[in-house]
Each structure stands twice: as C-alpha cells, then as structure tokens.
Chains A and B, each alone.
Chain A
C-alpha cells in the first residue's frame, strides 16, 4: 500500500514536472548568433547577485500560455532583428552562450522583493559575466502581453547599456526622465527606452537621462562596445515573409526602392545614426540619402503587411 502510494506520488510529481516544462516553447530568433538574451518564463531561484541583498529570491513561473509566450517572444525578437543577437527561451542555449555576451530576463508575476515597478535591471549587465539577471513583473503590467513584450525589450536595452531616453525643454531642463514621444503630440511613436506602452515604440537617437548634452544612439550602442554584438549580415533572417523592399538603383544622394506595400522606413548609417525616415508607397520610391553618406547603410521598414531590414553597400 505504502509502495503504491509512493509510485502514485512519484508519477504525479513527474507529470507536474513534465507539464510545467512543457509550458514554455523552445524558441530562437537567430540561432547563428553567440550573443544571447534568455527569456525565462518558468520561474527561477536567484542567489549570489546584486539583487540578493535580502537573501535568495524565488521567482514564480509567469503562468503565461505557450501561445502568449510565442507571441511575446516574436514581439521582442522583432525589435532586435537588426542585430547579431539571439533571443531564446531555451536555457541550454543561454548556458552555451559566452558569459560576457549574455543576459537572462526573468518574467515573473511579482517583484515584491524590489518594489512596485514593472521591471528592473542593472545597466550594462549583459557584459558583466556574472549572470546578473534582469526582471519583468507582469502583474504590474496587467498581464498584458503587449506591455510585457515592451517592458522586456526595455529591460534588455538596459542590460545592453542603454539609459532612459528623456524629454528636455528648450532650456535643457529635464521634463520627464522617461520620454513618451511627447515632443510631437501628433507622433504615434515613442522610444523603447522611454515609455513604450501606448505608442508604436522603436529605438531612438535622443537625449538620455544622463544629460541633455549627451546623445544616445540606441542601435549603435547595442551593436557596439562593450557588447560587440554587431549587425546581422545581409540577408540573414532579417526579413519576414516576402515583404522585401528591393533596391532598384543607388545614386549619390538617393536610393530608388521598389516596395511591395505601404511602409514607414528609416535609414541608418553603420554607427546607428538615423539619416532619414519617411513613408514608402507600394511600387517605385526614391528616398534621399546624404551625399556624404557612403559605406554600409541599414534600411528598416515596417507596415501592416510586415517588416524587415536590409543592409546596403552605398
């Protein structure tokens, strides 16, 4: 009787174990990359980090469904599709990644050990080499998948060394540490490193919280030192579907493009500096580039029918 009970208990435990681990789908956004961000949805015990000033932290599993996790992963991966960086939900991939090019984002219901915030991270911890994780607390985000994806992207940005994008007035005084894109109230865009929840959010070149005299180019900082992630090579996993914007012709000061749909576009130089942005209409488009811009440019486009990016030798 006792033995049967033990067997039943063991089977139950096994089933619980299998069930809980089966909850998180194994996803990788860009497997060739060594640099890795691990999205940890299934709970964690954390000790021996700067967060453990009051002892061990036990983070509960997120409780999100596989479909929701897949959607969140895709949203986050979309923000990093320019970069030579893998967004994974696979702990084994994280373990294999270089210790100086990896971070873990623990996505968990509560962060009572820290306080009433939607997430927290140590700036630049991606390269610390000591596996300091970052956090997203989903109850503080109303368990809203879009908010969770935006908050996780924001925290990943911090681990990659980004400060907040801030809003300053014309005298250079800070209006808000977290810019919500309010400089143009008609704009539907906000910086990912500001308040990314209520507008279409993206990386930005702007004034960070460290001072109006500074310029933070989010993309350049992510790709460059000390992360040394770099950008993806041309044609490697940067395009979704067959919504590719094709380059018809390159002239000094302009690019001729053939677009399969209506897209907003942005053109960067290799350092991540925004050169120009605007709207592409279906069919033939000619967009300006600076006459002095030569070398490698990065074109990003985004619209209802998809998004993508392309490196251009100009």
Chain B
C-alpha cells in the first residue's frame, strides 16, 4: 500500500513538474514554447509593403507571403491579412493602431486552422515578440 502511495506521489510530482516546465512569463500570460524577438521596424515594414512580402522579421525568422487584404479605418487602424508562404497555408492577421496619446501599437496572430500551435504577437517594454503557443489559446470553440 505504501509503495502504491509512493508511486502515485512520484507520478503526481512528475506531472506537476511537466506542467510547470512550460514557460509562462509572456506578457499575454499564455503558456508558450518559444519566443521570437522581432527586429525594430519589422512590423512597420509589413505595412509599407505592396503585395509580395519577403522580410527577415527576426534572426532565423524569414517571412515570405502575399497581402490578401488591407483595411484602412481612416488611418487610426490599419489591418493586414497576409497569406504566409513560409508557413504553408498560415495566415498572419496584424493590425496597427494608435492609442489616445498617439503611440503606435500592433496586434496580430499567425496561424493555420486546426494546427496544434500558432504564433501570437505580444508587446513588452516597447519590444515585440512572437510567442509560439497552443492554438487552442488563440482560437476556441
């Protein structure tokens, strides 16, 4: 009986360790498996592109794709939808908006429906990152 208890306790501890091993210091408070810091101006470059995009967003993270849709709500909010070829079938949805103080912010996601993981754009200390997280935290049923 004691052996069973020991095994169960050990198993529980292992499970807890596995759960806590997933990083969770992201600004979006989502557990994530990878964090990519984007180059300064990389996001703005997306909004300056015409149709085709080929851009080094971060060291080792090259974005290749085509703009499928661009919506401009009077300049205060501009949204882009980019079909990303470097992540086959994936779509990058990204918006640029200015807050009441005139500061520019970006929000966005890169995902392919029904894939296990996707990327979410987050801002921390005036830097932008893509965090790789489970897609169920980005799209829910």
Contact = CB atoms under 8 A, between A and B. Distances in A.
Contacts of A123: 137-140
Given A99-B77, A171-B15, A128 B95 contact: yes
Interface residues of A, number: 38
Q: Which of B15, B24, B81, B141 has the most CB of A within 10 A?
A: B141
B19 A173 contact: yes
B73 A120 contact: no
A113 to B, nearest CB: 9
Interface string B112-141: 111000000000000000000000111111
Contacts of A124: 107
A173 B73 contact: no
A210 interface: yes
A115 interface: yes
A130 B29 contact: no
B109 A122 contact: yes
Contacts of A209: 136-137
Interface string A91-134: 00000000110000000000000110111111110011111100
A50 B140 contact: no
B69 interface: yes
Contacts of B20: 213
A172 B91 CA distance: 34
A49 B93 contact: yes
Given A100-B77, A131-B71, A210 B31 contact: yes
B112 A53 contact: yes
Contacts of A114: 113
A131 B70 CA distance: 12
Nearest to B22: A211
A50 B81 contact: yes
A212 B15 CA distance: 13
Contacts of A99: 73, 76-77
Contacts of B107: 124, 127-129
Contacts of B76: 99
Interface of B: 12, 15-16, 19-20, 24, 29-31, 68-69, 71, 73, 76-77, 79, 81, 89, 91, 93, 95, 97, 107, 109, 111-114, 136-141
Given A99-B76, A122-B139, 9 more contacts: A49-B93, A50-B111, A51-B113, A52-B91, A53-B91, A117-B141, A124-B107, A129-B77, A210-B24
12 contacts: A49-B69, A53-B91, A100-B77, A114-B113, A120-B140, A129-B73, A129-B77, A209-B136, A209-B137, A210-B137, A211-B19, A213-B24
Interface of A: 47-53, 99-100, 114-115, 117-124, 127-132, 158, 163-164, 171-173, 177, 209-214
